[in-house]
Amino acid sequence: MFVDSALEEVIVLKDESVEAARSLLDRFQPQKTILSSVIDHDPQIENLLSSSTKFHKLSHLTKLPFTLVVGKPEAMGADRLALAAAAVYFNPEKNNLVIGSGTCITYNFINKFHEFIGGAISPGIEMRLKSLNHYTAKLPLIKADWNAPLIGYDTSTNILSGVVIGIAKEIDGFVNAYEEKFGNFNVLLTGGDIGILASHLKKKIFADPELIFKGLYAISEVNNP
């Protein structure tokens, strides 16, 4: 929930039902809403939001606060669109590299002219841990942990070192490469794994776990002025 562009509260619903959405609307009575969905949600949720608020559904037809130099909006994930929108809205006229650390790690570069140039996608922590377990005969499935040593001393810590420290070095390497090409720019880190990765990064990176919500707010403001 936003009040005058400030994020006031993040609420996780118990389910994706119409009743849960209606309860939230009754409680906060928002003027505007935006829906970003990657599941087959109940279409009645959209009817409810549109009848009660100024509503926008994120899609390839959505107006964005930036332009795409390559690719098309319909080919990009909603999360990447939101992260790019947040960077432009809250850090205008600056070069921004936004790194999302979730199921996948996404690198998203938006220049000072508000052009989304592109980036990269690589497997996230959980995906790498599960892959090591699935594609080998003896490596166990271990739980992600921020306390990963540089030098592992048993199987589990060897895996943690390779995955967690490996991703941190990957991020540092990407940031270095972007610095060589573009000079100074903001680096923003967000996503569910920032608590695991942040302490292992050498580069000074601003961590914001709520950045995707800020991006959805920015998109809503463009489409629901």
Positions marked catalytic: 79
Which H helix or E strand runs over 117? strand 115-123
Tell me, what amino acid is at 207? A
Query: Do residues 65 and 218 make contact, with C-beta atoms less than 8 angstroms apart?
Result: yes
How far is 17 from 58, CA to CA, in rounded Å?
A: 19
Q: Are 155 and 173 in contact (CB under 8 A)?
A: no
Contacts for 6 with CB less than 8 Å, ≥ 6 apart: none
> Contact 203/189 with Cβ under 8 angstroms?
no
3-class SS of residue 135: coil
Residues 86, 92: Cα–Cα separation, whole Å: 9
Q: Phi and psi of 131, rounded to 5°?
A: -65, -40
Q: What angle do CA 178, 183, 187 make, to 5 degrees?
A: 60
